[in-house]
Amino acid sequence: MKKFFILTAVMLLVATGAFAQDTIRGRASYYSDRFEGRRMAGGGVYRKDSMTCAHRRLPFGTLLKVRSLRNDKEVIVKVTDRGPFAKRFIIDLSRAAATQLDFIRAGHTPVEVTRVEAKSDSVETKK
């Protein structure tokens, strides 16, 4: 009976995301220019000058902070597509994001990806 309660508690923690990683390290790549104008899995159209990315599992619209482990540069991108499909990469970035992280020439770079908390759109006004 005790094992049942422990197993139930662990399953509840996993289901609520208590064990979810908010920061992960791996390699990032970026979209080829040939994808410009193509439809993405999230329904939008890819534009190389936008600050977007592809992630395998995170919901569309999730904001991520991507930090290059080579030069400490950071960008904020929005998940708008699925991928990358190459297992060695954890995220595909738009060309604009890759340019800001300064890895266009290399084609890929080690990164740290952190989920960013969404801020409320409401603005309080003082009288």
How many domains does the chain contain in total?
1
Whole-prediction pTM: 0.76
Q: Is 58 inside a domain boundary? A: yes
- Does residue 17 register a pLDDT over 80? no
Nearest Cα to 83, choosing from 60, 49, 116, 51?
Answer: 60
Nearest Cα to 74, choosing from 46, 41, 113?
Answer: 113
Q: Is 26 inside a domain boundary? A: yes
Q: How many whole angstroms separate alpha carbon 12 and alpha carbon 101? A: 38
Residue-range definition of the domain harbouring residue 39: 21-115
Q: Is 83 inside a domain boundary? A: yes
Span 64-75, average pLDDT = 98
- Does residue 18 register a pLDDT over 70? no
Q: Is 1 inside a domain boundary? A: no
CATH code for the domain of 54: 2.40.40.10
At 117 the pLDDT is 78
- Does residue 72 register a pLDDT over 70? yes
Other beta carbons within 10 Å of 126: 3
Render pLDDT for 34-62 as a digit per residue (tens, 0 to 9): 999 999 999 999 999 999 999 999 999 99
Render pLDDT for 74-118 as a digit per residue (tens, 0 to 9): 999 999 999 999 999 999 999 999 999 999 999 999 999 999 975
Q: Is 16 inside a domain boundary? A: no
Q: Is 10 inside a domain boundary? A: no
Q: Is 68 inside a domain boundary? A: yes
Q: Is 2 inside a domain boundary? A: no
The one-letter code for the residue type at 68 is S
At 110 the pLDDT is 98
